[in-house]
Every structure is written in structure tokens, then in C-alpha cells.
């Protein structure tokens, strides 16, 4: 009997655990280690952040789902990986620390035959002084953060209803933050809600981002087909912002936040600031902070993980100038180069390089969106990792028939731009591949026939449908495995 241990129960981890159990059945064990007792569909946290959904509409308890599927769930945080075992254990194991009420603080060594690191990101608010929901800004990175943001947003709406002007600052809160798409979506929803209440005369909405041009989204920008024309995402994004009355600050690295003011540097090295009444700024991401030790107890964290705490996989991490990177640098099976029974999925794997061109200002501050790996890519990667592990267990071979390089994988993103039965809107954008491949597609970097962008009510209905469909899938309901990632 083989034992597969999955660290994390987000989109990548939850998908991997369900697929692994589906493939392996009762003959083998699947164990999920996650500090969270809930699964949350993070893309819908945006709607919680504007009061259009309740938190309980975007999450559910994991325990009943895992019990039904025969998956063991340990509500604990992974502390350290021992991929060679140690003097007391011949098998590799993960040291975990329980956070549930019954065992809180207790530690356990959980042995494994195969390990999937799908911990997702650490929301690194501390990397920017004053950033975060416990300080001076809001977040929509989780349902509880989003609920808190809605509480604060209501206060601003109430002030506008009394004739008081409010300034909203939405975007990235670190010079190397990712997830511009989530912030973009939140900015549009705030604008939509303000307009719906006819309060636009009392609102000033600003976008602040580390993108060199709007519409970069950590993908280096893209060219999309729209209404029969090929349009850069820069124009696509600027036109949407203009339609919604949102002004912008780009090429900005936020370095500090105080009450009502965000301080930032631009690429010229100027140190500037922007006042606000309400701010939602996405933090930088880091790895979960796990350590790694060899059989002798020596710290090998720097060998297993990249400096940002994310796990190294089958990618080319050779330092080289931005102009020299290639699509083939990206991983396709997400296997550790040191330990062939260890994998990383979703945000937990370390990208080999930036997709967007990094810029450093005269003060030495690097300002660049880091590569996004959330949503659809996380689910796809979680699935292929689980399928390959199941294949190895069942056949005894070491080959990997399933592959999913982000330089070959397409992705669809639906950005809500207002919630409503008849007036809701969404911007739908597809890119293929996610990582541009200039050798295969020398003109656009991507397959222009599969890279499109449209805005309209149909997109809103698609996003709403996907909300319910993916929660249905995540609950392991009848036919769940037939729904694509």
C-alpha cells in the first residue's frame, strides 16, 4: 500500500487529492495536510468584498467531502520535510503541527511514499510596512479578508451618501506582487457598485500597479482578438478603465503604507505618495516557510526551495538575462530534481524566471509583476501531478505520461466587472500559451486564434455559472471528475 501525502487544500492540493484517490481507490492512502478546515473558491471572494455574496457562499467544510471520498485530513501546518527520513525513520516524512482544537500545538511525523507540495502562497503582508487587513489596507485574498473589506467599503459608501468624497486605491502593494487580475476585478466591481448607487460624483478611483503597462498581468502583456481586430491588452485594459472612470498609476512599487497614504517609488527613482480613504492592495507572495533536512539532520532548505520559499522543480533555474530565457525553461511534470517522489503544484512551485520584463530603478528597487499561477493553471497542474503519481504507483514505472507546461497550456480568465441579472458584466480573456513562446509564435508570442478578449453580460453569466460549477466539483458531487479544471 502506497501513501500519498498532499500539503494544502486549495485549488491545486484539493484537485490533486481528489484525482489521486479516484485513480488509486481503497488500495492506497491519500492524506491531506492543511491548516484550513474549509475549502474556499477564491475567485468569488471578489463578490464577498463588495457585499454581493456571503462568505459561506464561497466556502464549505472539507471534512465531510474527505470522509465520503476516503481521504484522511489532518488539520495541521507542514513545518519541515525530511525527504530521506532520519536516524529514527527509514521512510521520508513531513513534520506537521496541528492547529485544530483537539490537538493544537501537537506535532506528528507523517510518512509518505509520494509527496505533493501544494501549500499555495504565504500572503507576505509583512514585506511592505503597514500593508494588510490588520494594518492600513484591505485584502480580498481569502473570504474572511474579503468580508472585512466589505465592512470597510460600506463605511466609504455611507460617507458618499452623505455627500463626502472618497478616494479608492486598488492594485498591488509590493514592487513584485502578482495577482493583478484579482485587484483589477475588485476595482471594476467597486466602480460598478458606486455607479449603481449613483455616487460617482463623490468617488475617485485609482489603480496602482507594478506593471510596466496596464494589462501586463504578470504575463508580459498579450495581444488579443477583439471584435475582429488584434488589440494589445494595454489598450484593452485602458479602455475598460476609462469606461469605468478609473485613473491609474503604473510602474509603481509600493514600499510603505501609513494611515490614509501609500508611499511608492517609480522607475525613475522618484519617491511619491498617494492619499486614500479606502485601499485594497495585493501583497507579495512567498512560500509557506517549510524547512528541509537530509538524513543526517543537515538543513537542505536552500537546495530544495528557491530563495522565495517556493519549491524547485524540473525547470531551468540557470541565472541568465531576461532576453535569454525560453519557453522550454518552464517545468512540465513539477517533480523535484533532488527527490523523484516529491512534487510541487500550483503556486507552491518556483517559476524559473519572470514572464514580464523586470526593471530596476536608480535606487535598486526591482519593479515587476511576478508570474501568476492561480486558478485554472493550479487545477491543471494538481491534476497531472496526481495522475503521474497514480501511474507510477500502479505500474511501478518512473515515467510521466501526463505533462502540463505553462508554455504549452492555455488559460481562461473571467474578470467580473459588475454583478447583476441584466446589468452584470465581465471581461473574458483567454491566452494560449500562458508563457509566451516566441519561437513557435514569432509574431504574437502566442496563438492569436486562441487568445481573445471580450466584455459583456454573457461573461458575467459565465463567471456566475463557473462559481457554482466549480464548488459542485470541489464537493465531489456526482460526475465531478467529468468537469474540466
Torsion angles phi and psi, residue 392, rounded to 5: -65, -40
Q: Give the DSSP H or E segment for 146.
A: helix 143-161
What does the pLDDT read at residue 231? Answer: 85
The C-alpha atoms of residue 304 and residue 293 are separated, in whole angstroms, by 9
- 453: pLDDT strictly greater than 80: no
Nearest to 127 by CA among 135, 117, 119, 115: 135
What does the pLDDT read at residue 457? Answer: 78
Q: How confident is the model at residue 424 (pLDDT cuts 50, 70, 90)?
A: confident
Q: How confident is the model at residue 224 (pLDDT cuts 50, 70, 90)?
A: confident
* CATH number for the domain that contains residue 109: 3.50.50.60
Q: How confident is the model at residue 307 (pLDDT cuts 50, 70, 90)?
A: very high
Q: DSSP of 249-295, one letter per residue?
A: E-SEEEEEEETTEEEEEETT--EEEEE-SEEEEEPEEE----EEB-T
- 89: pLDDT strictly greater than 80: yes
The pTM of the whole model exceeds 0.85: yes
What does the pLDDT read at residue 450? Answer: 84
Task: Answer whether residue 42 is part of any domain.
Answer: yes
Task: Find out whether 53 and 47 touch, Cβ atoms under 8 Å.
Answer: yes
What does the pLDDT read at residue 425? Answer: 79
Q: Could you tell me which residues come within 8 angstroms of residue 16 by beta carbon, excluding any fewer than 6 positions away?
A: 6, 116, 118, 345, 382, 383, 385, 386
Percent of the chain with pLDDT over 90: 86
Task: Answer whether residue 478 is part of any domain.
Answer: no
Nearest to 210 by CA among 263, 173, 236, 169: 173
Q: How confident is the model at residue 268 (pLDDT cuts 50, 70, 90)?
A: very high
- 189: pLDDT strictly greater than 80: yes
Task: Answer whether residue 47 is part of any domain.
Answer: yes
Task: Answer whether residue 173 is part of any domain.
Answer: no
Write the pLDDT tens digit of every residue in 93-120.
Answer: 999 999 988 899 999 999 999 999 999 9
* Least confident segment among 26-35, 264-273, 291-300, 431-440: 431-440
What does the pLDDT read at residue 37? Answer: 96
* Least confident segment among 251-255, 259-263, 459-463: 459-463
224 vs 221, higher pLDDT: 221
Question: What's the total number of domains in the chain?
Answer: 1
Task: Answer whether residue 181 is part of any domain.
Answer: no
Region 411-435: mean pLDDT is 82
Nearest to 412 by CA among 450, 457, 369: 450
- 429: pLDDT strictly greater than 90: no
295 vs 227, higher pLDDT: 295
**Which structural domain range is residue 64 located in?**
3-123+286-395
Q: How confident is the model at residue 225 (pLDDT cuts 50, 70, 90)?
A: confident
Residue with cell 464577498: 48
- 230: pLDDT strictly greater than 90: no
Q: How confident is the model at residue 322 (pLDDT cuts 50, 70, 90)?
A: very high
Please state, in angstroms and as integers, the Cα–Cα distance from residue 305 to each residue in 13, 20, 221, 324, 338, following that order.
18, 24, 28, 23, 11
- 375: pLDDT strictly greater than 90: no
Q: How confident is the model at residue 291 (pLDDT cuts 50, 70, 90)?
A: very high
Task: Answer whether residue 370 is part of any domain.
Answer: yes
Write the pLDDT tens digit of every residue in 58-69.
Answer: 999 999 999 999
Q: How confident is the model at residue 423 (pLDDT cuts 50, 70, 90)?
A: confident
What does the pLDDT read at residue 50? Answer: 96
What does the pLDDT read at residue 419? Answer: 77
Percent of the chain with pLDDT over 70: 100
Q: DSSP of 416-435, one letter per residue?
A: E----TTT--EEEEEESSSS
Amino acid at each position: 500500500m502506497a501513501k500519498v501525502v498532499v500539503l494544502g487544500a486549495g485549488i491545486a492540493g484539493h484537485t490533486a487529492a481528489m484525482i489521486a484517490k479516484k485513480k488509486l481507490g481503497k488500495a492506497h492512502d491519500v492524506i491531506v495536510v492543511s491548516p484550513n478546515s474549509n475549502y474556499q473558491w477564491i475567485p468569488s471572494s471578489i463578490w464577498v468584498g463588495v457585499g454581493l455574496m456571503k462568505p459561506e457562499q464561497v466556502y464549505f467544510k472539507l471534512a465531510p467531502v474527505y470522509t465520503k471520498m476516503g481521504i484522511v485530513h489532518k488539520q495541521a501546518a507542514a513545518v519541515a520535510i525530511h525527504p530521506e527520513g532520519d536516524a529514527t525513520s527509514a521512510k521520508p516524512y513531513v513534520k506537521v503541527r496541528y492547529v485544530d482544537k483537539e490537538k493544537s500545538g501537537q506535532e506528528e511525523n507523517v510518512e509518505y511514499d509520494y509527496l505533493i507540495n501544494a501549500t499555495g502562497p504565504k500572503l507576505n503582508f509583512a514585506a511592505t510596512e503597514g500593508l494588510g487587513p490588520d494594518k492600513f489596507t484591505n485584502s480580498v485574498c481569502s473570504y474572511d479578508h474579503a468580508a472585512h473589506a466589505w465592512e470597510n467599503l460600506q463605511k466609504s459608501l455611507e460617507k458618499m451618501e452623505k455627500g463626502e468624497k472618497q478616494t479608492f486605491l486598488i492594485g498591488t502593494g509590493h514592487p513584485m506582487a502578482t495577482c493583478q487580475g484579482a485587484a483589477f476585478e475588485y476595482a471594476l466591481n467597486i466602480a460598478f457598485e458606486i455607479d449603481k448607487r449613483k455616487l460617482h460624483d463623490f468617488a475617485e478611483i485609482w489603480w496602482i500597479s507594478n506593471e510596466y503597462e496596464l494589462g501586463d498581468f504578470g504575463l508580459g502583456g498579450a495581444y488579443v482578438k477583439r471584435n475582429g481586430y488584434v488589440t494589445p491588452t494595454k489598450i484593452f485594459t485602458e479602455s475598460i478603465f476609462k469606461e469605468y472612470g478609473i485613473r491609474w498609476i503604473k510602474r509603481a512599487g509600493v514600499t510603505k503604507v501609513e494611515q490614509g497614504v501609500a508611499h511608492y517609488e517609480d522607475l525613475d527613482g522618484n519617491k511619491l505618495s498617494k492619499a486614500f480613504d479606502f485601499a485594497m492592495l495585493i501583497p507579495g507572495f512567498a512560500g509557506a516557510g517549510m524547512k528541509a533536512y537530509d538524513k543526517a539532520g543537515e538543513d537542505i532548505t536552500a537546495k530544495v526551495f528557491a530563495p522565495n520559499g517556493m519549491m524547485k522543480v524540473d525547470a531551468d533555474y540557470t541565472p541568465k538575462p531576461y532576453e535569454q530565457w525560453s519557453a522550454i525553461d518552464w517545468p512540465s511534470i513539477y517533480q523535484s530534481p533532488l527527490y523523484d517522489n516529491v512534487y510541487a503544484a500550483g503556486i507552491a512551485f518556483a517559476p524559473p524566471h519572470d514572464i514580464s520584463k523586470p526593471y530596476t530603478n536608480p535606487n535598486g528597487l526591482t519593479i515587476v509583476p511576478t508570474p501568476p499561477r492561480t486558478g485554472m493553471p493550479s487545477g491543471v497542474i494538481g491534476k497531472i501531478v496526481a495522475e503521474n503519481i497514480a501511474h507510477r504507483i500502479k505500474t511501478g514505472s518512473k515515467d510521466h505520461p501526463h505533462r502540463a507546461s505553462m508554455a504549452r497550456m492555455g488559460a481562461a480568465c473571467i474578470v467580473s466587472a459588475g454583478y447583476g441579472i441584466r446589468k452584470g458584466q465581465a471581461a473574458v480573456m483567454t491566452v494560449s500559451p500562458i508563457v509566451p513562446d516566441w519561437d513557435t509564435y514569432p509574431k504574437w508570442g502566442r496563438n492569436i486564434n486562441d487568445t481573445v478578449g471580450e466584455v459583456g453580460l454573457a461573461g458575467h453569466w459565465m463567471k456566475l455559472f463557473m462559481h457554482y460549477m466549480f464548488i459542485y466539483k470541489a464537493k465531489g458531487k456526482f460526475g465531478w471528475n467529468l468537469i474540466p479544471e
